[in-house]
Structure 1
C-alpha cells in the first residue's frame, strides 16, 4: 500500500520541481513548457539588484522571525500552565477555547481583527477614547506603525492552541516520579520546571524550531493580501505577494521561479544550519 502515497509524493511534490528549469530560461506561456531561450542567471541577477525585492525580503524576515519569537514561547508557556490544571472540565474548556481559532479560516480571523480595530465601530478605539489615551480614532490596519504588530498578534491568536498541543503531548510523557524525587530534594516549582519539564520538551522544541525556520520565507499570501492597503504596502509587501504580482499578475514566470528557487535554497540552508547547531548542543537530538 505504500506505493500509492509514494506515487503521490513523486508526481505532485517532486515532479513539479522539474519546472524550476524555467528560472534559467526565458519562458512564455505560448511557447515551450521548458522555456524558449537559455538565459543562465539573468533572472537571479535581476532580483538581486531589485530594491523592491529586498524590501519584501526584509519584511518577510521581520514578520517570520517576529511571529516565531512570539508564537513559540507563548505556546510553550501555555502548555506549561495547562499542565498545571487538575480539573478535567476546566482543562477541556481551556483547550477547546484556545484551539478553536485554529479551525477558523484566515479570512474569518482577519475579518474579526479588522472589525475589532475599526476606527468607526472597533472596540479597541472605543476603549482607548473612553480612557482618554487617544482623541481621534486610529485606523490601525492602514497605519504602517501597527501593521507588523497586528500581523504577529493575529498569527499568535490563530496558532497558539494548535501549537501547544504538541508540547502538551510531550509533557504527558514525563515520569511523575521525577517530580516527587525533586520535591524530596527540596526543589521548588520553578526548579522542577527548569530541570525536569523543559528538558523533557527539548526534542519537540528542537523539531518545531527546525521546521519553522524552514518556512521563514513562505509566509501566506492570503493573509497579507487581506491586510495590505496602499498606505501600509511598504511594510506589508512580502516575497509571496511580490512573486504573485510578478509571476501571476505580471506574467513574468521565469523571474518568479528564480525568486522561488532562491527561497527554497535559503530555507534549506536555515534548516541544515539549525539542525547542525542542535546536534552540536545536544548529541541526543532526534533530528
Structure 2
C-alpha cells in the first residue's frame, strides 16, 4: 500500500526551513520532524562534521524555542545539567539556580563522553518531563526535547549508553555524508553567508504544543495495534536477541506512527506509517547475543527480517 505524499500544511514550512540548512538529507529531516511532533527525543549517531549540531539549531530557530547546548565531557557533573541550590548568606535561604536542561531543545553533544552517572541525569527528564533535584520536583518546559549526538567511531574516553537510556530515545538516526553533487551545493550556500542566519521561526511554541496534542488524537485501528504488538513480541522470542523491545518501545512505536501519519496530513495510521518509523524506533532498543554480534549481523537486519515475516494488516 502506498502512502500519499501530501504533507500537513503546518509541517511543510518547518521542513522547508530545515532543508534550506541541511541539504540532501530529507529522510533525516523527516525523522527529526516526526520526533518533534511525537514529543520524543533523538539520538544522532554519526561522524563529526555532517551537520548534527546545525540540524538541532535549525530546528530550535524554526519553532522559536529556547535552545541550550551542553558539551559532555568526562568531568561534567549532574549539577552542571540540572542546576543546584545556592546559599544566600544574607537571607539564610537557598536559591535554586536552574541548569541548562530548563529549555525547550537541549543539545547533548557527544553524550557518550560523560560518565554514566552524569548521563543518567537526563533519564527522568526524557521520560517524565521533569527533574528531581535535592528532593524537589521541577517541571520542564513544554515542548521539551533532547537531541543527543555521539561519534560511533571513536571509543577512547567514551562510555557506552546503557540500555535504559537508549530506550528513552524515541528515534536514532544517522545523517551520513552528502553526495558529491549536494556537497558542491553546500560549498555554494556557505560561500557568502551562514544559512542558519536566514532561518526564522515558522511555528511558535503554542502551535507546537497544540500539534503534539493533535498527534496524540490520531486514530490507530485495532488491527494496526495488534500488528505493532506482534512485531514487538517477535523481538522478545528471537534467539538472535538477548533483549527484545520493551513496553516503552511499543508505546513509542505507536507515537511515532501517529506523528508520521499527522505529518502526511492524515488523522489515522496505516501500516506504511508503522513500517516507515520502525528502522528508526526499534533497532536501538534490542540487544544482540554475543554469537549474533560475532557473526556480523546488525540489529537493523534482525528487525527487518522479523518485520518481513509478519503479516501486514489490510
Q: Do the structures match in fold with TM over 0.5?
A: no
Q: Would you tell me which structure has more strand in proportion to its own residues?
A: 2
TM-score by length of 2: 0.26
Q: Would you tell me which structure has more helix in proportion to its own residues?
A: 1
Structure exhibiting the larger radius of gyration computed from Cα positions: 1
TM-score by length of 1: 0.27
